[in-house]
Chains A and B, each alone.
Chain A
Amino acid sequence: KQEVTQIPAALSVPEGENLVLNCSFTDSAIYNLQWFRQDPGKGLTSLLLIQSSQREQTSGRLNASLDKSSGRSTLYIAASQPGDSATYLCAVPNQTGANNLFFGTGTRLTVIP
């Protein structure tokens, strides 16, 4: 069974700093990997989706990379802002369907003004 791990569980940084969130998965036979953002008590918002054939995806200040062979992905956030404070989750599909996802427990990010 696929297992997804995210380290660290929580991270605090001063505003303006660049930061990296880590995600690792045990089964490298994945269709894709998604990064989500979750604000407290709210649903998830999809940030980036990387196909298995891609190495990275970029959206604004966010850049996600994927290394299938090592079972790792990183989410890089440039010039962090207080509005980036949220929990960030990564997820990979299981064998039965591209969107039946296994989630990590997330990294809770706090950006201090």
Chain B
Amino acid sequence: ETGVTQTPRHLVMGMTNKKSLKCEQHLGHNAMYWYKQSAKKPLELMFVYNFKEQTENNSVPSRFSPECPNSSHLFLHLHTLQPEDSALYLCASSQVSVGDNEKLFFGSGTQLSVL
């Protein structure tokens, strides 16, 4: 176990559904991330939170809405998704401070299928 837990592991949803992905880290880190992994494409950074503040939104469509209520929890709210949004969604955390270059710890991911 990496110390980063994602739920659910698998999710099937219709295009009109609303669902949420959850991520929890038990490592005391101060930064959390959402990445998207589509087949045969590099991992894409979606959102970054440092100290609960969103510091990066990598041009992600508004149908994806992140929420970071505290430094241990991260959510990704999904609404009106498209079939091309089907992918593995990965959460990660790290300890970031000035001058540090710490490793990323990933969860096991949520495999999302949009019908």
Contacts and interface: CB of A to CB of B under 8 A. Distances in A.
A101 B101 CA distance: 12
Nearest to A9: B40
A70 B2 CA distance: 33
A105 B101 CA distance: 22
Given A43-B90, A49-B103, A103-B43, A98 B108 contact: no
B42 A45 contact: no
A43 B4 contact: yes
Contacts of A94: 45
Interface string B24-43: 00000001010000001111
Interface of A: 4, 31-32, 34, 36, 41-46, 49, 51, 89, 91, 93-94, 96-105
Nearest to A3: B42
Contact of A102 (B31, B42, B88, B104): B42
Contacts of A98: 96, 100-102
A32 B25 CA distance: 24
Contacts of B56: 96-97, 100
A43 B101 CA distance: 20
B54 interface: no
A105 B40 contact: yes
B66 interface: no
Given A42-B108, A89-B43, A94-B45, 5 more contacts: A43-B107, A43-B109, A99-B33, A99-B101, A102-B42
Nearest to B9: A41
A17 to B, nearest CB: 27
B44 to A, nearest CB: 8
B65 interface: no
Contact of B103 (A42, A46, A96, A100): A46
Contacts of A51: 101
A103 B33 CA distance: 14
Nearest to A106: B42
Contact of B31 (A31, A49, A89, A99): A99
